[in-house]
Amino acid sequence: MCEIGDRLGFHERNGGNASYHLLPEEAKSAKKRLAKKKTGPWVDIGTSVPELGGDLFLVTGSGKFMRNVAYDPEVNICLAELNAEGTQYRIRWGLSKGGRPTSEFPTHLMNHEVKTRLTGGAYRVIYHAHPPQLIALTFVLPLRDRDFTRALWNTMTECPVIFPEGIGVVKWMVPGGRDIAVETSKLMAKYNNVIWAHHGLFCAADSFDNAMGQMETIEKAAHIYNIVHSMVPKPRQGITSEGYLAIARDFHLEISKRFL
């Protein structure tokens, strides 16, 4: 996923990050294999995620380049273990040349907590990237969930199929802290994809394939929107609300009627 995202131009320099919430059986196996290895010190997360206490997360490192993850994972990613209270982490493996998890680890963990609660643990991947067409769109459209949902849904039929719940938008905030993590996690309770204005996109999914698929689809939709609106001030036609309902019926989807 990291390699594909870099190839698509989503990860300039050290831009973007990703995390994976290990399944209980995976965590048990990892802890057994790492039992005799030296662990890092406990470090404050900067937020509290008590529902994830004791769990293990595979997460990219702060300042690391996504293009290097596949070539040298032990240097660029790590296994981070949370304490029982979900307030601190320690590194159990990885970042062998030093470092810490991504500065946006608090956002990842708060998103994981929300998705674990809502999906019963089915959603385990959080992926953050900087897709350029979508970022460009955040300078043009009103920074509201409805405006972005309708704009992206209307670009191609696949969009309401892939994100029928819509898409959330966080207005510009300084990244990496608790405040933006709180705002993002609130929206993750409604959506699987949340835009950070003038910054990028967070996707939550049940697999790496689906996380990347959501990222690609939303970026392609933004690209189509930008092409169309560079050609004409107002498109001549598009998908209607009745069309969205027909898609929902035929594909057996629960489409968000708030956006019709």
Pairwise CA distance, residues 139 & 142, whole Å:
8
Pairwise CA distance, residues 44 & 244, whole Å:
45
The set of residues, in sequence order, having a beta carbon less than 8 Å from that of 20 and lying 6+ positions away, is 57, 58, 59, 124, 125, 208
* Distance in Å from the first CA to the final CA of the chain: 33
The residue with tokens 């900067």 is 46
Residue 241 to residues 131, 178, 259, 260: CA-CA distances in angstroms?
Answer: 28, 37, 9, 5
Task: Kindly give the residue spans of alpha helices, DSSP state H, lying in 41-172.
Answer: 73-76, 105-119, 132-137, 145-153, 158-162
Task: Kindly give the residue spans of alpha helices, DSSP state H, lying in 63-123.
Answer: 73-76, 105-119
Element (H, E) at 58: strand 56-60
Pairwise CA distance, residues 226 & 80, whole Å:
40
Active site residue 51: no
Task: Pick the catalytic residue from 3, 81, 104, 216.
Answer: 104
How many whole angstroms from its chain centre is CA 122?
15
Pairwise CA distance, residues 183 & 88, whole Å:
21
Catalytic residues, by residue number, are 104
